Structure 1
Amino acid sequence: MKKLTLVLLLISLFAQAQEKVNFTEKFKKENQGKYKVEVNEVKELLQIMIAITKTGLENEDMMQQEGPYYQSVLKQFKAYENEPIIHTFDSLLVETLINNVFLTGNGISYDFKGDKLVKSDVYIFPAGGVNGVKVVENPITQYKKELEDFAKKSNFRSFYKKHKKYYAEIIAQYEKEANVGKQWKWLEQNFDTRINAYTIYCSPLINGLNYTSEFNNNNFRLIYMSLPPLSNNSYMSAIENELFNTRVMFTEIDHNYVAKPTKEHKAQIDEAFKDRKYWVNEAVEGIDAYTSPRYIFDEYMTYAVYLLYCKHHYKEADFQKAFTATVGVMKDRGFTKMKEFTDKLLTVCAENPEKKIEYLYPDFLSKL
């Protein structure tokens, strides 16, 4: 199977479209201090359509291709793989896998009303730019008729309704096991950034292509994440599964806290990370997506802060499991100095327990 070749720069997702949301006073009141998990209907339609493209069928890292849900998707929808709109989506994915984000990320800008798609009052054009790549028109608007026709022809809405119980189980598992509130509280104790609400959009078809965004409108900041269901791997212990799921979620959330001080210390980061070959393995596929010292540093910092969280919340033996697993994952992704980076951050934090993490940047960077 073809492997996922795109490593998204999560800190910059949707940066050019933050203003294209509409957080009314009613919306703010209903969502303040809350997080929700949703398997969004239109977004799931996009996930399914991408899953049956040639690119989706060949890319097991991008699409979750194991389990009964995927088989049910193939059973009902693969017969439509030669529809013109599916070929159009495939051509977009061949051009760049970032188009997966533009398609699924803008799914929340519409809702179904019968067989028709109607515009959301909240999300106008939520996914307009990723890492310097931009689209000038919301693709859901652009392909609205084709999406409506595909959904009707394939009987998508009945499929979605049939699986609502399964979607509810995914949501319930998140609410029971994800510890979003705990992570949120810890991050706001250790950074100055304040977030008003979180939304997790989940799909059983998501595998390795996760992304996050921050929307800031009408004095209200909302973090939006696109994530797979929580994992429950039989070959892992309960604590190992918890650590894995925490890492997946935490390293999406904390991008939104790490980004501000990273931007503020760009000059020092550029100097510390000027020797790119020291910090990354250029031979690893996907590492070229991290185009600047700031992006490389930010990825290291995102995972190192996750390990700080583990240090504060887990027994030493479990922290060491998280540490070893994270160093291994980062090495596989091309970030070869994760151990050294984290060791120095842990030392600086231990020396300055009264300081928030973002105020440790100058001291920490001077030691790299």
Structure 2
Amino acid sequence: MLFRCICFACFLLPAMVAAQSKTFFHKDTLKIAATSVGVRFNHMKAPLMLSGKKYEIIDLGSDGAPGKTVTVYLENDSIQIRNDNFPYEEKHFFPLQLAGKNYKLRLRFNNVTASFPYAYIRENRGRALVEVPETFELANILLMLSPSAKKMGGMVDSGQYHDEVMAYFKPYLGHPVFKALDVREAEYSNNYYEFRDNSICYEFNGDQLMPTQYFLVYGSDDSTYSNAFRSNVGLVADFARQSNFRAFYQSHLPYYRQLIAQQAEWSDVAGMQRWLGKQFSHRGFDTSRLIFSPIINSRHSTQQFGGSDENGRSFYEMVLFVNGPNLYNMAPDLNEQQCRGVLAGIIFTEVDHNYVNPRTDSFKGEIDSIFASRDFWAPVSKTSFYSKPAYIFNEYMTHALFSLYAIDTFDASTAKFLIARREALNVEGRGFAKFREFNAALMKIKKENPDTPVADLYPKIIDWCRSFAVR
């Protein structure tokens, strides 16, 4: 059999240079007397036979990977294409003739937001990691010191560590990185998450910031992976050099390790996943990374990534960005169980987004209709970051779900305290005006249907929302 390989000289460094998806149109028609064509990405054991039917375009795609290939099998020939635009999207179009009928063959290497080395998967499958990564702490320190954060809040503003940060970095507040971080109020939330969360896409190699296995965590344009951290990575590295940030980080490792140990003890992410798995019939994640900083006060987020090992076995990782336990160590009005519960609420309401959001998508039309009454559910003056009706519903659902988890996990007195605190947080603090009513309704529906998973209660929950909204 003849063999041809098509390669392109696109030498790109992931997450280091500006790039975007690439599309290639091949002129030569692939002619096959049969009614189907065999196509195999190199992770597949055998070619997939694609038939021409009523559609003009015959399509097959797979997530991109370093060195990945796709082979098209002709009658006495084959063509192989290598993924040279990794990690960005790459598409190839070929004129295709099957049994005399003309089609277009589209082959896709999909863009990916992370690429896990096999060694990483082997080492971390089944683990629950808790970390204060060096670049993540650098990003948080820069945000805390920035002019915008002083106006917008969301960062710890007192305590010994806060004071040490302020004193150490005060001589460097004139660095140009702070001008880059001084954005308008309307842009602050997106800029904050882009800058903070994407910091894990880099790690130090000496004084240089080099790409990691993550290409994009949070951003509005995943075709180029552009984000606020990547756009300013040169300034960030220069600030770290001038301020000798790495020495500051190293000198505080004992403090970070103390908090990591406490966070790991108080954070039962594995238990949360088991509880959520029963409620949503979800397989869960192979690895969780709980990333925090002692100067985060609010603004938590989560992301998930996927990959596969050398045997083709899938690998799913959940990353959580939250505050540290130090916030609650300074709360004299809370006992230890309440401290654990409050921290659990922060973490749980990020973990459960990974279960709630996909289920919500199955009822998107109904939810969009009901929650389009924005002023009724969540006045935009307080909740503008949640721009779509489904986003509003997901916030209601994820936070109300914690009430069910608290009832099943903590003693009755602690659960009652946590539920009341969660309701006050959402109504008075976050602007979700009807959360108390929604929360009570969910607890009632679940109590009436104790053996029914929450995922199967969605129709009842949505019916309640519809009735409540027209009272």
TM range (shorter): 0.7 to 0.9
> What is residue 3 of structure 1 aligned with on the other side?
none
Counterparts in 2 of 1:279 and 1:133: CA distance versus 1, 3 Å: farther
> What is residue 131 of structure 2 aligned with on the other side?
38
Counterparts in 2 of 1:93 and 1:72: CA distance versus 1, 3 Å: farther
Distance in 1 between the 2:385 and 2:227 partners? Answer: 24
Counterparts in 2 of 1:138 and 1:267: CA distance versus 1, 3 Å: closer
What secondary structure does 1:289 align onto? coil
Query: Does 2:220 match 1:123?
Result: no
> What is residue 251 of structure 1 aligned with on the other side?
349
Counterparts in 2 of 1:116 and 1:250: CA distance versus 1, 3 Å: same
Q: Give the counterpart of 1:276 among 351, 368, 374.
A: 374
Higher-RCO chain (CA-CA 8 Å, sequence separation at least 6)? 1
Q: CA deviation at 1:108?
A: 1.0
> What is residue 295 of structure 1 aligned with on the other side?
391
Q: Give the counterpart of 1:28 among 107, 112, 121.
A: 121
Query: Does 2:410 match 1:336?
Result: no
- Equivalent AA in structure 1 for residue 298 of structure 2: G
The within-5 A match list for 1:50-89 is: 50-59=143-152, 61-89=153-181
> What is residue 296 of structure 2 aligned with on the other side?
206
Query: Does 2:238 match 1:149?
Result: yes
1:13-63 per-residue CA deviation (whole Å, 9 max, x = no partner) reads xxx99822002332222222211111111121121122221122344x321
Distance in 2 between the 1:149 and 1:276 partners? Answer: 44
TM-score (norm 1): 0.87
Query: Does 2:351 match 1:227?
Result: no
Q: Is the 8 A contact 1:18 1:216 kept in 2?
A: no
Counterparts in 2 of 1:251 and 1:135: CA distance versus 1, 3 Å: farther
> What is residue 199 of structure 2 aligned with on the other side?
107
> What is residue 327 of structure 1 aligned with on the other side?
423
What secondary structure does 1:318 align onto? helix
Q: CA deviation at 1:169?
A: 0.7
Higher-Rg member (1/2)? 2
> What is residue 260 of structure 1 aligned with on the other side?
358
> What is residue 458 of structure 2 aligned with on the other side?
361
Q: Is the 8 A contact 1:92 1:99 kept in 2?
A: no
1:175-222 per-residue CA deviation (whole Å, 9 max, x = no partner) reads 112222221211112112222211111111211122111222333221
Distance in 1 between the 2:111 and 2:298 partners? Answer: 24
Distance in 1 between the 2:224 and 2:297 partners? Answer: 24
Counterparts in 2 of 1:270 and 1:126: CA distance versus 1, 3 Å: closer
What secondary structure does 1:37 align onto? strand
TM-score (norm 2): 0.69
The structure with more helix, counted as a fraction of residues: 1
What secondary structure does 2:305 align onto? strand
Distance in 2 between the 1:309 and 1:62 partners? Answer: 26
What secondary structure does 2:291 align onto? strand
Q: CA deviation at 1:165?
A: 0.3
- Equivalent AA in structure 1 for residue 159 of structure 2: G
What secondary structure does 2:257 align onto? helix
Distance in 2 between the 1:201 and 1:112 partners? Answer: 17
Q: CA deviation at 1:135?
A: 7.2
Q: Is the 8 A contact 1:56 1:63 kept in 2?
A: yes
- Equivalent AA in structure 2 for residue 310 of structure 1: A
Counterparts in 2 of 1:288 and 1:57: CA distance versus 1, 3 Å: closer
Moved more, 334-343 or 141-150: 141-150
1:239-261 per-residue CA deviation (whole Å, 9 max, x = no partner) reads 22222111111111111110111
1:228-279 per-residue CA deviation (whole Å, 9 max, x = no partner) reads 1112211222222222111111111111110111111112212333433332
Q: CA deviation at 1:136?
A: 4.6
The structure with more strand, counted as a fraction of residues: 2
Q: CA deviation at 1:347?
A: 2.3
Q: Is the 8 A contact 1:128 1:135 kept in 2?
A: no
Moved more, 347-356 or 295-304: 347-356
Q: Is the 8 A contact 2:357 2:394 kept in 1?
A: yes
Counterparts in 2 of 1:94 and 1:338: CA distance versus 1, 3 Å: closer
1:285-338 per-residue CA deviation (whole Å, 9 max, x = no partner) reads 431222222111111100111000011122333222122111111111211222
- Equivalent AA in structure 2 for residue 200 of structure 1: L
Q: 5+ unaligned residues in a row in structure 1: which ranges?
A: 1-15
> What is residue 13 of structure 1 aligned with on the other side?
none
Distance in 1 between the 2:186 and 2:392 partners? Answer: 26
